[in-house]
Amino acid sequence: MLNQVGIATVAKAKHLLILVASAGLKLAKFGGNASRPALLMQFNPANKFACLLARLHLRFVWHCQMLWRYAIGRRDQYLMPDQLSVVYESDNFIVINKEFDLSVNTASRWFNPLALNTQVFLAKHHRADPTAYHWYRFCHQIDHATSGLILLAYSQDAAMRASKAFLNRRVLKQYLAIVWGHFDTRDHVTVDRPIGWDRLDIAGSGDLRKHMVTETHYRCLDPKPAFSQVVPLERGLYNGLPATKVLLLLKHGRTHQLRVHTSCIGHPIVGDVKYSRREADFRCHRMMLHAYRLQARLPRLSETIDCLAEDPFVPESDANWQPESVQNDYAVFKDCARILESGEQLTVDKL
């Protein structure tokens, strides 16, 4: 009887949360585009009153949307707008350790603010650029479900320099992931398979939104070169099933490259319901992919960035992951500073 009363009470509480959140969202969007406050539409960070109004508005809508998603079960954890982890900051750049299941930015910055750019604005509003739609310039992208390091530029010139560094391969990104299955060898696995869009995705299939396939797939459209390396680090169990913690290195930055390449070699990423779709993936609280290290050499700005994020795939942070044996030591792959300082092009084959 008590269990039934408890269940009914939780259901009523969730229903109340949904009503409050939906009312808040309607209030925030009241009036449509034509009547939105001019201080928000013509925002200038130099105007202190406009900046205060913008921050209050974003906090209000953030909590309404987060409350809604938390109440209907779309999020397991309530993410605060001030929950921002800054790993590195200079006059030109800021490196953020992004939370998982959080978009980098959204199409509507004022009325759909559940994104990283909102968190950065609330913490660094004095560095916002009014000429940039999202207030800051993102030098690269990582997926909504992926956590880890992402580089933002404070100015247009810094963003241009970073873009050239990416083109000239002076930026190296290393990822950690937990993949299904065990590897037969301790040696790294090289995956050199071009990636293209799925034709069904181009046709507008909702289930295959942003779905990529390798060039050998019959539905592959416009494949482009993609090179990745997979290095087994630890062998163990995740939720009682065989899994391996791996280090992922990529030479090209195609959409979903690491997710597609690990899947095509028979070791999809744990929790990746798009490319794995195993029953066990739907029981995972997140996709186990993390941007672990970011290194960049920017000679024109006399700046070298070398950031390392905290490893989230340890038993202390995730009790579902139980490592059993070490296959390779990550310390072997740490010595990349020498290449950065020497001025050589930083590529995967230098490791």
Q: In which band, very low, low, confident or very high, does the pLDDT at 67 lie, cut at 50, 70 and 90? A: confident
Summarize pLDDT for 137-172 with one digit per residue, the tens. 999 989 999 999 999 999 899 999 999 888 887 888
Q: Which of 101, 143, 272, 281 is catalytic?
A: 143
How far is residue 346 CA from its own chain's centroid? Answer: 23
Residue 143: active-site member = yes
Evaluated on CA atoms 26, 125, 95, 317, the torsion sign reads: negative
Q: Which residue has the higher pLDDT, 166 or 277?
A: 166
Q: In which band, very low, low, confident or very high, does the pLDDT at 180 lie, cut at 50, 70 and 90? A: very high
With beta carbons less than 8 A apart as the criterion, state whether 226 and 232 touch: no
The stretch 196-220 carries a mean pLDDT of 73
* Residue 132 pLDDT > 90: no
Q: 120-124, 125-129, 328-332: lowest mean pLDDT where?
A: 328-332
CA distance 118 to 139: 16
pLDDT of residue 26: 52
pLDDT of residue 90: 92
All structural domains of the chain: 2-160 (no CATH), 170-350 (3.30.2350.10)
Q: In which band, very low, low, confident or very high, does the pLDDT at 187 lie, cut at 50, 70 and 90? A: confident
- With CA atoms as reference, report the closest residue to 66 among 54, 82, 78: 78
pLDDT of residue 52: 83
Burial 297-331 (b: 16+ CB within 10 A, else e): bbeebebebbbebeebbeeeebebbebeeebbebe
Q: Which residue has the higher pLDDT, 180 or 1?
A: 180
Q: 35-49, 72-86, 224-238, 295-309: lowest mean pLDDT where?
A: 35-49
pLDDT of residue 96: 95
With beta carbons less than 8 A apart as the criterion, state whether 101 and 83 touch: no
What percent of the chain shows pLDDT beyond 70?
Answer: 78
Summarize pLDDT for 210-253 with one digit per residue, the tens. 788 888 888 888 889 988 889 899 999 999 999 999 999 888 78
Summarize pLDDT for 305-329 with one digit per residue, the tens. 999 999 999 999 999 999 998 887 7
- With CA atoms as reference, report the closest residue to 193 among 176, 216, 210, 218: 216
pLDDT of residue 220: 86
pLDDT of residue 133: 81
pLDDT of residue 280: 85
pLDDT of residue 218: 84
pLDDT of residue 268: 94
With beta carbons less than 8 A apart as the criterion, state whether 193 and 258 touch: no
